[in-house]
Amino acid sequence: MNQKEKTLGVIADVSGVERDTIEPQMDLVADLGIDSPKALQLLVKLEDELGIEISDEEAARMETVDDILQVVAAT
Amino acid sequence: MESLAAFLIRRVVGVLGRSCRWRDPTGEPIDRWIGREGPVVLVAWHEQAVLLAHWMRRRILVQGIPMAVMSSQSRDGEIGARTAAGWGVRVERGSSSRGGSVGLRRLYRAVKKDGFSVVFLVDGPRGPRYEAKPGAVVLAQMSGAPILPVAIHAERVWHLKSWDRMIVPKPFTRITVRRGEPFAVSPEDDVETARVGLQNALNGLQETPKCTD
């Protein structure tokens, strides 16, 4: 499984939304219901499962699924 | 202006708190509650922020137990942050409504990596009153730190006209500190179930003040 697939898997796991229905343009809050506590789950799981480190600045800029994919691809 | 307000709050809380008679029915040393086995996520209702601040200052911070809080990014939050920072509490900014994910993540790091215990006023920053939000539960679940419910009761009090009807103790009143049983939230636990458990634990510690304005 590549990084993108793993990332989408974590997003699906945390949001409870079916993996196959998640689209890059989806808004994390409005479309996937990722509030602050879920955002903490998401960030910790992304770092643990992908072995990456996401800065506060990068985390603050994450508004859509594509934002997450770009951050993960850049790390 | 915020610095002056924080200074005045610290003075008022200090003077009022010193005049009150404090009672801890458990009789336990505070490090049995906090810090001995590692960090905890201490939870309380927002209305008790003033009481909690004084209790933390006189029982926890004086022992050098590292504590952190999250304060909202509003102007009120700025005053609260400066007040807490003046007592030596580590403050991370953010709330469930603004900047929460970053603030919560910094608190997570404070617990997980730096060993700080955390105080969460779980129905804040804007209520509804006595309705716990899930942030403390998720923080406990992700960090492995247990949740410690605490309630502080003052016999004679004023209530501010804020959403939480913030409690300010009247001088020389008797104040009682109660704690519930600490409980862990495992990765398999359902967050909503744990949130309701936390809410029930805090409500179980509540006591109606005997004389109020």
| Chain B stretch 82-111, residues whose beta carbon is closer than 8 A to a beta carbon of chain A | 94-96, 99-106, 108
- Prediction ipTM score: 0.86
A20 is catalytic: no
Which positions ≥6 away from A34 have C-beta within 8 Å?
A14, A15, A28, A42
**pLDDT on residue B212:** 39
Contacts of B95 in chain A (CB under 8 A): 36
**pLDDT on residue B64:** 86
Q: Does A38 touch chain B (CB under 8 A)?
A: yes
Q: Does B124 touch chain A (CB under 8 A)?
A: no
Tens place of pLDDT per residue across chain B (213 aa): 667 888 888 888 888 888 888 888 777 777 677 877 789 999 999 999 989 988 888 888 888 889 999 887 788 778 888 888 888 899 988 755 555 678 899 999 999 999 999 999 999 888 899 999 999 999 999 999 999 999 999 999 999 999 999 999 999 999 999 999 999 999 999 999 999 999 999 999 986 544 333
**pLDDT on residue B98:** 53
**pLDDT on residue B62:** 82
**pLDDT on residue B211:** 38
Q: Does B196 touch chain A (CB under 8 A)?
A: no
Integer distance in angstroms from the first to the last C-alpha of chain A? 17
pLDDT tens-digit readout, A41-75? 999 999 999 999 999 889 988 999 999 999 999 98
Spatial separation of the C-alpha atoms in residues B16 and A24, rounded to whole Å: 55
Taking the CA of residue B89 and the nearest CA in chain A, the distance in Å comes to 21
Pairing of strands B156-159, B167-169: antiparallel
**pLDDT on residue B119:** 94
**pLDDT on residue B96:** 56
**pLDDT on residue B72:** 79
Q: Taking a C-beta distance cutoff of 8 angstroms, is the pair B172, B20 a contact? A: yes
* Closest CA in chain B for residue A43: B105
Q: Answer whether A36 sits within 8 Å of B106, measured CB to CB.
A: no
Q: Does B144 touch chain A (CB under 8 A)?
A: no
Q: Average pLDDT over chain A, rounded to whole?
A: 93
Give, in order, the Cα–Cα distances in Å from B205 to each of A3, B150, B152, B153. 47, 8, 9, 9
**pLDDT on residue A68:** 96
DSSP, collapsed to helix, strand or coil, labels residue B85 as helix
pLDDT band at A5 (very low <50, low <70, confident <90, very high): very high
Which residues of B122-193 form beta strands (DSSP E)?
A: 147-154, 156-159, 167-169, 174-179
Q: What does the DSSP 8-state code read for residue B46?
A: G
Q: Answer whether B101 sits within 8 Å of A41, measured CB to CB.
A: no
